[in-house]
Structures are given as C-alpha cells and as structure tokens.
Amino acid sequence: MWKNPWGYKEGFIICGGLLTVGALWQLIIGSCSLTFLSYPVNVVSLLVYVAVLVIVYVFFRKRTLIRWMSSYFAAVTGMIALTVLVVLMGLIRQLPSSHLLQADTSNGLGFSYMLSSCPFVLLFFWFITLLGMTILRRLMHVRWWDIPFLCNHLGLFIALIGAILGSADMQRLKMTTQVGKAEWRAMNEYKEVVELPLAVELRDFMIEEYPPKLMLIDNETGRIVPQGRPVSLFLEEEFDRGALLDWQVELIERLPEAASVATEDTVKFVAFHSTGATYAVYVKALNVRTNERREGWVSCGSFLFPYKALRLNQHLSLIMPDREPRKFTSDVIVYTESGFRKEAVIEVNHPLEIQGWKIYLLSYDEEKGRWSDTSIFELVKDPWLPVVYTGIWMMIVGAICMFSLTRKRKEELG
C-alpha cells in the first residue's frame, strides 16, 4: 500500500480520513454552513478554485498523488463514499435549514441536515476536485473522440458546482395575500420579513371540490367505521340511494348552498346563496337487519355554520366529512418595480415565471374552504439554475455523442 501506482485501497483510506476529519470538525466546531457563499463571494471562490486546480495540475501533474487523482481508482472510491452519504440522506429525515441555527453544534454528525454536514461537505469537495483533475488530464491531450467524455464530465462538474454555489443565492419565500390587496412582503424560512422587487395582488380565489360523501362514525371514539376499511357514499348529481354496511340511505333533499336554522326542537337547513354557505342533505336511513329507521339533515358545515350529523343508534352516526379540493386556482396581478404588470391565473404545479421568480400556489385559508379570500404563494428565485441546466444539457449531449460514436464503430467493425 502507498506504493506507486496507487489503487482502490489508498482511495478508500483517503475517503475514510476525510470522513474522520469531517466528523471531528462537526463534533468540535459545528456544522459547515455554506450560506457565506452568496454573490459575489461564490463567483470569486469559483475563479480561485479553478485557477488553483489548473496551477496544481500544470506544475505538479507528474507527482504520484496528482496523477492518481485523475485515475478511475480515485473516481470510483470517491463516488462510492459520496453515494453512501447520499443514501444515508435518503434514509434519515432531513430537517429544514432553519432548524440548523437552533441545533446544538455538538449534536451528532449532522446527518439530519446532510448538506451542511462537515463529512458530506469534505467528501463533496474531494469528489469535485477529482472530477476537475480528470477533466484537466483529458484536456491536456484532447482528441476529437474525447468530446463525449469531456461533455459528460465537464457537464457534471458545472452542474454540481452550480448547485452548491447557487444554494446560498437561492431564495425560497412564503407570501400570504388577500383579495383586493397588493402584497410585496414575504417570509423566509427563518420567519424574517423580506421586501420584494415585485408585488402580488389577489383578484379572486377559485376552488373545485369533489362531491361530498356520507360516512359512518363510532359515537364513542369518533372514528370512521369500519376502521381501516371505511365505506362511503359519494353524493354525485345522479345519486338517490345507497348502502353503508347494514344501513340503506335514501336522499330526500339536497341543498348545495345552505344555512342552518335552529327551531324549537331541532336544526333544519334552508337555501342560502351567500358567503359561508354549506352543503346539506336530508336523508332517510333504514337498517335492513333491525328495521330501525332514522331521518334528518346531514351537513359538512363551514366556517360560518357548524356541521350536522344524524345519530342512527347508540353506536353509529351518519356524517358528511369536509369536502376535498379537486383543484384550486388564484387569479392575480403581478407588479414589478420597473412598471411591468402581468395578469395570470396560478394553480398548483403550474407556477408563474416573471423576472427570474417562480410563483407557486401553495395553499389557502382551509378553514374557509371555497369561501377563502386568502392565497398563500411560494416564491422561488435561483439565479444559478441556468448554470445547472447548462451542465445537464452538456451531459445529455455527451451521452448522445457517445452512443453515436459507439454505434459508428460497431458498424465499421461489423
């Protein structure tokens, strides 16, 4: 071991050493937060890093360590070590970075916030350095058939560098807006108020809901029955009767927009076409085994009116759970500092892109439901994303070129 040429053993020992150093660093000093790598520090750091790589390779490429760093022995061992940590990141629940400020610096190895864990940062830096050395080695003696190799490796280098250096510049904010009001302030993950160069005015919020449904609950526990395999009846337009376990349910009256009215001995529902209206149905229920009969109103309620259940017997009641949203959208106007104005309808997974920002519809006032006058947006800006995309496209081009050259050689040989 440690005799020229180096192989896998030396690679695993170096990776193990980096893990050990990173673990001690984590335990003694604390996490390796990269928040300081914001513009322009990240650009300067990148230029210095690339310059050092080039200088080291040009003047010391004949040294055993530098020559080994551009070999597949180093690449394989570095990739395996980094992959192990990535797998751990997938197995261990990752906490938001906002928790990092509250965490004890000596609390374990930081695997709950892997991207700020010192062992991960050191191994990532080592892998990037090996990748850079491999690219420089091929560039020193480049030939036209090396183009796929360079596209793949240089693309990976650019994508990883862009992702790590851009993490400090990325902004992920949450904005709460109300109908008729323009909002230009948002909250970051540390609950700090951030003023934005754009404002969002909510004009209207719209929601499409699934048909309401009827279910049975246990009067003592309040749990849906049968537990684990609940049954339900969807009150679609054509519904008039159905069965829930031993109970036959018949729909007598349906009020999609209703209000509850208290009488002397009960509660009834009447049509109410205004804000806060609830969905209510009048049903008759018959138990086919005991011949018990019950009838009355059932409603899911709203922020204005309480829900209404129909007690069937000592053990069961018929209820209507809150309606589930099928689709919700927000009609907005976005204003920018330059005077630009854009009208758009934003829905889940269909963000609005404007001046480098992506505006996602995140949520709404769930208590008010369909009557919500509030929309919650997530605003994301990642100025380094084009750099990452460039690296990915280079890898795709490299893969296509490699496939084409391999096929051409097979045809020439065949």
Distance CA 375, CA 380 (A): 16
Please give the chain's pLDDT, 414 residues, in tens: 777 788 899 999 999 999 999 988 888 877 777 777 788 888 999 999 999 999 999 999 989 999 999 998 999 999 999 999 888 888 888 776 555 544 444 446 677 877 788 899 999 999 999 999 999 998 988 887 788 889 999 999 999 999 888 888 889 999 999 999 999 999 998 889 999 999 999 999 999 999 999 999 999 999 999 988 889 999 999 999 999 999 999 999 999 999 999 887 788 999 999 999 999 999 999 999 999 999 999 999 999 999 999 999 999 999 999 999 999 999 999 999 888 999 999 999 899 999 889 999 999 999 999 999 999 999 999 999 999 999 999 999 998 888 877 766 665 555
The pairs formed by 400-404 with CB atoms below 8 angstroms and a separation of 24 or more are 401/147, 401/148, 401/151, 402/148, 402/149, 402/152
The one-letter amino acid code at 201 reads: E
Contacts of 52 (CB under 8 A, 6+ apart): none
Residue 317's φ and ψ, nearest 5 degrees, are -135, 150
Residue 386 to residues 159, 382, 390, Cα–Cα distance (Å):
9, 9, 6
Distance CA 135, CA 144 (A): 15
Distance CA 53, CA 76 (A): 20
pLDDT at residue 111, rounded to an integer: 77
Sign of the C-alpha dihedral, residues 125, 130, 136, 142?
Answer: negative
The one-letter amino acid code at 318 reads: L
Alpha helices (runs of H) in 107-209, residue ranges in sequence order: 118-140, 147-166
5 cis-preceded (ω within 30 degrees of 0): yes
Alpha helices (runs of H) in 41-146, residue ranges in sequence order: 41-60, 64-69, 72-91, 118-140
pLDDT at residue 414, rounded to an integer: 56
Cβ proximity of 110 and 136 under 8 Å? no
Considering only CA atoms, which of 121, 144, 146, 123 is closest in space to residue 135?
Answer: 146
pLDDT at residue 103, rounded to an integer: 46
Going by the DSSP 8-state scheme, the letter that residue 323 receives in this structure is P
Going by the DSSP 8-state scheme, the letter that residue 179 receives in this structure is B
The one-letter amino acid code at 11 reads: G
Q: For residue range 280-297, what is the model confidence (pLDDT) as tens digits? A: 999 999 999 999 999 999
Q: Which domains does the chain have, with CATH numbers?
A: 8-141 (no CATH), 172-208+326-381 (2.60.98.10), 211-323 (no CATH)
Q: For residue range 219-243, what is the model confidence (pLDDT) as tens digits? A: 999 999 998 888 999 999 999 999 9
pLDDT at residue 145, rounded to an integer: 78
Structure tokens at 375: 């929309």
pLDDT at residue 411, rounded to an integer: 58
Q: Cα 202–203–209 angle (5° rounding)?
A: 90
Distance CA 331, CA 344 (A): 6
Distance CA 102, CA 106 (A): 12
Structure tokens at 7: 């192989």
Give the HSE-up count for residue 59: Cα atoms under 13 Å, Cβ half-sphere.
6
Distance CA 210, CA 236 (A): 9
Structure tokens at 323: 């309606």
How are beta strands 171-178 and 325-336 bridged, if at all? unpaired
DSSP 269-302: EEE--STT-EEEEEEEEEETTT--EEEEEEE---
pLDDT at residue 99, rounded to an integer: 54
* Helix 385-413 vs helix 147-166: crossing angle, to nearest 10: 160
Considering only CA atoms, which of 316, 324, 320 is closest in space to residue 222?
Answer: 316
Distance CA 391, CA 161 (A): 9
* Helix 72-91 vs helix 118-140: crossing angle, to nearest 10: 150
Sign of the C-alpha dihedral, residues 279, 280, 283, 285?
Answer: positive
Structure tokens at 175: 């904005």
Cβ proximity of 369 and 303 under 8 Å? yes
